[in-house]
Copies of this chain bind each other. A is one copy, B any other.
Amino acid sequence: MESIEITVATGRHPTVVDLTSEAAAFVSGRGDGLLSVFVPHATAGLAIIETGAGSDSDLLASIDDLLPAQEGRWRHRHGSPGHGRDHVLPAWIAPSVTVPVIGGRMTLGTWQSLVLVDTNGDNPTRRVRFSFIAG
C-alpha cells in the first residue's frame, strides 16, 4: 500500500474544499485498485458531490439546518460556542471514503468531485490521507 498525508488550508469558517486534483495526482500512474481517502480529525468529513454550481453552499446550509451550531444545544462544550455540532458531523458525513481506480484514474462521474467538509473554524489547516491498494 502506498499512503501519503497532505495538508489542506481550510480557514476560519465552515468550508467545502475540493480535493479532486490532489487525489487524481496521487493515483496517477498506479494502475487498478482502490483509493482510500481518510481524514484523521474528529470534526470533518468527506463527500463526493458536484462543486461550483451552488451545491457546496447548499451542503453547508443543510448542515446548519440539520446540525445547528447553537450554543447550549450540545453537551460537548470545548472550543467555540456551538462547536459540539462539529463533533457530531463525522457520524453523518463520514471521514472515510473509497473510490475505485482504473488505469491510474479515479472512476468518478462527470459531475463528481471529492471534497473535504469542515465546519470547524477553530482549525485552519487539516490533514487528509490518501492510500492506494493495488488489485
Interface residues of A (CB under 8 A from B): 1-3, 32-34, 36, 38-42, 45, 47-50, 53-55, 57-59, 61-62, 66-67, 74-78, 84-85, 87-88, 90-100, 102, 107-109, 111-112, 117, 127, 129, 131-135
- Provide the bound-state CA to CA distance between A78 and B54, in Å: 10
B88 touches A59 (CB 8 A): yes
Number of copies: 3
A131 touches B34 (CB 8 A): yes
Q: Which of B38, B61, B78, B97 contacts A107, CB < 8 Å? A: B38
A92 to chain B: which residues have CB within 8 Å? 62, 92-93
- Provide the bound-state CA to CA distance between A118 and B89, in Å: 17
B135 touches A134 (CB 8 A): yes
B75 touches A67 (CB 8 A): no
A58 touches B88 (CB 8 A): yes
